[in-house]
Amino acid sequence: MSTLLSIIIVNYKMEALTSKFVKNELVKVAIPHKTVIVNNAATYESDAALCKNLNATLVKLNDGVTPDDNGNLKINGKFNNNDIFVISSAENLGFARGNNLGVEFCRKAFDPYYILFTNNDIKLSENNVVGKLLEKLHVTPKAGVIGPRVIRTDGMEQSPCCYLSCWEREVVKHWSFLFLSKKKQKRRFHLDYAENAHEGFHYFVLGCFFIVRAKDFYNCGMFDSSTFLYAEEKILAERMKAIGKGIYYYPSVSVIHAHGSTTKKYAKNKILKWQKDSNLYYYRVYRHTPSRVLFMAKLTNGLVRLKKRLLFC
């Protein structure tokens, strides 16, 4: 059985928010689709809540999922034509591995042509956001990823983003307050890049909401499972570039992003560590940053974390 679009959401201890998102926002997606929720750190209660709230089919990691001759899904010996599935993972796989698990399930069960990756803290500004993105992606063969305007609830533009070297982002930026005015910081580090961005190819778009062609995603190697959280979009941009594809920004449609909602279950010190570890991994593996620069970045990040701990003691 083949479907045009699969939608993947990674849930972590936010069953109410995920259920609300599926019920209130994904109903705006008029294109036929299958929704897959990867339930990280799943418990019996969280699986049950998602399945009950969404009338979804529960899929365990060891379940065999194959279509029969008529294209119906056979799950645990039962035929099911449901449109919403919950994949139960007792382990917290993080963003990259969680989404990859969802993709592998979709690939085997639905053979989608397109895949939408979305957070559960997104609001679609209009009913045809996904349709317009798919139309643009269809006529832009060089695009491997397409994303809309992403606007934070406070009005801040979040996407697209430009490239910054490790030295600039992880070292100079942290100490720039000592020698640059706020105006010069904004200009040097492109802090207003998203506000001034025009339609077209950019380095990367925010990972909270974007669409890929499934075949491009498979061909580029999917997400890098070495990261737990953060830097996935930049790494995907590099992987897409390796197969001759770019990242396309389409501001004619937009979504609202309640920034931080999907990570508030984590402690702030863990988030900061994951963010820095993922960024340094990206710079080392994908940008081949010299070891001396990585050392300075690690030293700076350590001092920044120490400063934050001292401030909040």
Q: For 238-281, how does the pLDDT look when each residue is reduced to its tens digit (9 = 90+)?
A: 999 999 999 999 999 999 998 665 555 556 667 778 888 999 99
Domain ranges (residues) in the chain: 5-160+197-266
pLDDT greater than 60 at residue 311: no
pTM recorded for the entire structure = 0.90
Q: Which of 241, 307, 229 is nearest to 270 (CA)?
A: 229
Nearest-angstrom CA–CA distance, 173 and 176: 5
pLDDT attached to residue 110: 87
pLDDT attached to residue 180: 87
pLDDT attached to residue 179: 86
pLDDT attached to residue 263: 55
Q: Do 259 and 153 touch, CB atoms closer than 8 A?
A: yes
Question: Stretch 131-140: mean pLDDT, rounded?
Answer: 97
pLDDT attached to residue 9: 98
The C-alpha angle with vertex 217 and arms to 212 and 220, in degrees rounded to 5, equals 135
- Annotation: CATH topology of 5-160+197-266: Spore Coat Polysaccharide Biosynthesis Protein SpsA; Chain A (3.90.550)
> Is the pLDDT higher at 177 or at 135?
135
pLDDT attached to residue 72: 52
> Mean pLDDT across the chain, nearest whole number?
89
Largest CA distance in the chain: 68
